[in-house]
A and B are shown apart, each in its own frame.
Chain A
Amino acid sequence: MSGVRVLVGTRKGAFVLSADGKRERWEVSGPHFAGWEIYHVKGSPADPDRLYASQCSSWSGQVIQRSDDGGATWEPVGNKFTYDGVPGTHQWYDGTPHPWEFERVWHLEPALDDPDTVYAGVEDAGLFRSADGGQNWEELAGLRGHGSGPSWQPGAGGMCLHTIILDPSRPGRMFAAISAAGAFRSDDSGQSWTPVNRGLQSGGIPDPDAEVGHCVHRLAMHPSRPEVLYMQKHWDVMRSDDAGESWHEVSGNLPTDFGFPIDVHAHEPDTIYVVPITSDAEHFPPEGKLRVYRSRTGGDEWEPLTRGLPQQHCYVNVLRDAMAVDSLDSCGVYFGTTGGQVYSSPDAGDTWAPIVRDLPAVLSVEVQTLP
């Protein structure tokens, strides 16, 4: 019988949540790597037993863990992330030059067709690739070396490369997003990059037409329609119908268009999900009501999804990598909160229930659909 495996990264360890296709009864495994920050855990599309995890701490830096048995056991692999050549500088918060310094891996994206190839998005923003299962890492320096690199500035959470999307229909095409530089596209497997931020409006940046400087929080794509991208920006929910060449706003009737995650239904490319957050200063849901908003029209028209979610006194946040969908016939949607809850909806968002309520603050949620 088919099932799902939810991979949860938290401030104090990783957890693996497993269920059969009904998604009613859950087994909880963890904490793995107890006490460490787990920014992201993700499985290979080519081999679901191959998982990668980003483990880090202020004391001992970065560790990458790899599992070959679906998270039952783990082995540390390579953790040497060295920027290509002389790293140079980007802008610091006050606009002064600041040396590029590796801090941590935010996001791991296994290749679509090879379990040994995996990409890592790091802070300070850069993109790395391993072709040997995470043992050795090499920077794809064309991104950081894009001419705009010295003008990139960190967002409040650091200057992180947090989103990597691989286009399944066009080998070599990939997207990356950086806070607070913007979105970028490569058509040559990451060797060279183009900023794709036309149409984004970001209050407070000096040049509204600047090609970089936008605080993109998350990108999402449906694999069957890869030219359409969705974006949750610092403020604004955006859509592109031409692989990022231009963007238009689809915030529509959302109560607020600030937020972090955005995701797409597994079988309906026009059904998308966001979690509106009050503001950049108030990182919690409006009115203390935790509501996922769903659009079945590719944006603009949104409906609140509340059944099973707390509708009073709820002041958690949902971080950018903390939402995922499974690909079972009835699409499951999952998200984790900074309050340690992981919610599941087995019916595309109509109803929700917590899988766990009391984990450490959730940093990331991924889900694998298992045969």
Chain B
Amino acid sequence: MIRVVLPAHLRALARISGEVELDVTGPVTQCAVLDALEARYPTLCGTIRDHDGGARRAFIRFFACEQDLSHQDPHTPLPEPVTRGAEPYLIVAAMAGG
């Protein structure tokens, strides 16, 4: 079970309260977690990464275990504590704008 924390504006959009818990089959990578998240909440498609190609949106960042994973290859396995649900995978909206 993978725990995912979304920023408030995306929780509101997808009508989620609290953390999301996902079952991910196969290697637990950022891409696999986001695929599973979008499959459960299609409304989130295009709001975290592009529809075409899957590039991360510029003002969205990914963190886990106090590491910034935003620039990692999305097919890199996530840290072990994330894969066993001990730590959440954090999707963060950059503090920018006014």
Contact = CB atoms under 8 A, between A and B. Distances in A.
B52 A60 contact: no
A57 B9 contact: yes
A62 interface: yes
Interface string B10-47: 10110000000000000000000000000000010111
Interface in A27-68: 34-36, 57-63
Contacts of A253: none
A80 B51 contact: yes
Interface residues of B, number: 19
Contacts of B10: 60
A99 interface: no
B51 A63 contact: no
A224 interface: no
Nearest to B59: A59
Contact of A82 (B48, B52, B93): B52
A282 B9 CA distance: 34
B60 interface: yes
A75 to B, nearest CB: 9
A340 to B, nearest CB: 16
A76 interface: yes
A79 B45 contact: yes
Interface string A74-115: 001001101000000000000000000000000000000000
B59 A76 contact: no
B46 A76 contact: no
Interface residues of A, number: 14
Nearest to A75: B43
B47 A60 contact: yes
Nearest to B9: A35
B45 A60 contact: no
A34 B9 CA distance: 9
B94 A59 contact: yes
A60 B93 CA distance: 9
B51 A82 contact: yes
Contacts of B52: 82
Contacts of A62: 46
B46 A59 contact: no
Nearest to B50: A61
A36 B43 CA distance: 15
A62 B7 CA distance: 16
Nearest to B46: A79
A60 B48 contact: yes
Contacts of B9: 35-36, 57, 59-60
Contacts of A57: 9
A70 B16 CA distance: 24
A59 B57 contact: yes
A60 B51 contact: no
Contacts of B97: 58
B60 A59 contact: yes
A59 B13 CA distance: 13
A76 B43 CA distance: 6
A60 B13 CA distance: 10
A59 B93 contact: yes
A58 B59 contact: yes
A82 to B, nearest CB: 6
A58 B95 CA distance: 11
Given A36-B9, A57-B9, A61-B46, 14 more contacts: A59-B7, A59-B57, A59-B60, A59-B93, A59-B96, A60-B9, A60-B48, A60-B57, A60-B60, A61-B47, A76-B13, A79-B47, A80-B45, A80-B46
22 contacts: A57-B9, A58-B59, A58-B96, A59-B7, A59-B93, A59-B94, A59-B96, A60-B10, A60-B13, A60-B48, A60-B57, A60-B60, A60-B93, A61-B57, A63-B43, A76-B13, A76-B43, A79-B46, A79-B47, A79-B51, A80-B51, A82-B51
Q: Which 8 A-B pairs have the closest CB atoms?
A: A60-B47, A59-B59, A76-B43, A59-B93, A80-B51, A79-B46, A35-B9, A61-B46
Interface of B: 7, 9-10, 12-13, 43, 45-48, 51-52, 57, 59-60, 93-94, 96-97
Interface of A: 34-36, 57-63, 76, 79-80, 82
